Amino acid sequence: MLSDRQRQILQIIIEDYIATAEPVGSRTIARKYNLGISPATIRNEMSDLELLGFLDQPHTSAGRIPSSKAYRYYVDSLIKPGSLTPNDIALIDNWYKERVRNIDDIFQSTAKILSRMSKNVSLVLANKETTSKFSYMRFLPLNEHQAILCLITEDGQIDNCVVEIPLGMQQDELDYLARNITNKLHGMNLDTIDSEVLHDAHQEIQGDKMLFSSLLKAVTQMQQGQKKEKMFLGGTKQLFNQPEFQDANRIKELLGVLEEEQVLKDMLNAGTNSGLRVTIGSENTFTGIQDCSMIQATYRLNGQVVGTLAVLGPTRMEYKKVISVMDYLQKYMHVVFNKMSEANK
């Protein structure tokens, strides 16, 4: 529906605006880019593009800036999948080598490098929703009155809580008890164990309420530990170097959004189905970021969603670059994760 020339002009305007943050005028285009047509012709095309809703004009004597519709068209139809420069690739590779010790480090490092390369805020959500299977339990002695109740899953996770020993109960009785309960629960998915399932165990404990509630507490604690979502933010300061966020009130508003961890989580979880998701300006349903764009990608391991990466910035964002970076990071995380699980074997 757009002519080749219109597409060309639109792309130039978008990319020039992304680079300079200044409205783009017809003369600028004619001067900077060699299209072989005069400013007047460009003006006519721009006028048409504005009617079609692709361009906005801040005021009569300013150049044009791209509308949300233009960015959408740009992302969907104009961008060709680019690749990173060798420099960028080397930067990322070294980045991880120096920093990664455990899983949290991976997410943390990813947040940092992502914000650094995108010059915007990065959000990394670690979904630790893994469903492990219950293996066995033990009471480790502590003192006369207390013991440590340990739950162990088949994949080697362990959780514990301190319990009161019923008066007069000996360690061998506790061991017996642990064995019996273990027999009942062994091999069960951790998240299917609830107070009802534990009811059988209750009989083992012969109605000792304290012991039972401790057991329940340890189980739910472990379940929650598994479900935990962790959010890593990077580059808040950088975001406020963007020329669109130089106003104190705007900064405060954005800070408000970034402080609400739950809102951020909701935002990231809203688009976990597709591979890569770009939400542009007014497409955002969350208040406070309607002049922002967000690019997010989920990262899966063995089919399970392990994390979500996202970059949040002004609609005037380097979509091409950010998308390439996220693409690469997605692949890279795979490698890093595999290395890590190798190391744990």
Partner DNA sequence: GTTAGCACTCTTTAGTGTAGAGTGCTAACA
Partner DNA sequence: TGTTAGCACTCTACACTAAAGAGTGCTAAC
Q: Is residue 57 at the binding interface for DNA, with CB under 7 A as the rule?
A: yes
Q: Is residue 247 at the binding interface for its own copies, with CB under 8 A as the rule?
A: yes
Which C-beta is closer to its own copies: that of 13 or that of 151? 151
| C-alpha to C-alpha distance for 15 and 245, rounded to whole angstroms | 20
Binding partner of residue 248 among DNA, its own copies, none, CB cut-off 5 to 8 Å per kind: its own copies
> Which amino acid, 207?
G
Q: Is residue 9 at the binding interface for DNA, with CB under 7 A as the rule?
A: no
Smallest gap from residue 310 Cβ to DNA (A): 32
| C-alpha to C-alpha distance for 142 and 159, rounded to whole angstroms | 16
Q: How would you classify the pairing of strands 146-153 and 158-164?
A: antiparallel
Binding partner of residue 206 among its own copies, DNA, none, CB cut-off 5 to 8 Å per kind: none
Tokens of 117: 């390369």
Residues 6+ apart with CB under 8 A from 300: 306
Smallest gap from residue 236 Cβ to DNA (A): 27
Extract the runs of DSSP E, i.e. beta strands, from 65-199: 65-66, 121-127, 134-141, 146-153, 158-164
Q: Which of 148, 216, 231, 270 binds its own copies (CB under 8 A)?
A: 148
The footprint of DNA on this chain (CB under 7 A) covers a number of residues equal to 23
DSSP state at residue 24:
B
Smallest gap from residue 7 Cβ to its own copies (A): 37
Helix axis angle, 103-118 to 86-99, nearest 10°: 150
Tokens of 52: 């079609």
Which C-beta is closer to DNA: that of 6 or that of 131? 6
Q: Is residue 173 at the binding interface for its own copies, with CB under 8 A as the rule?
A: no
Q: Which of 118, 135, 214, 298 binds its own copies (CB under 8 A)?
A: 135
Q: Is residue 210 at the binding interface for its own copies, with CB under 8 A as the rule?
A: no
Q: Is residue 168 at the binding interface for its own copies, with CB under 8 A as the rule?
A: no
DSSP state at residue 190:
G
123 forms bridges with which residues in the sheet? 233, 310
Q: For binding to DNA (CB under 7 A), which residues are involved? A: 23, 25-28, 36-41, 43-44, 46-47, 50, 57, 59-64
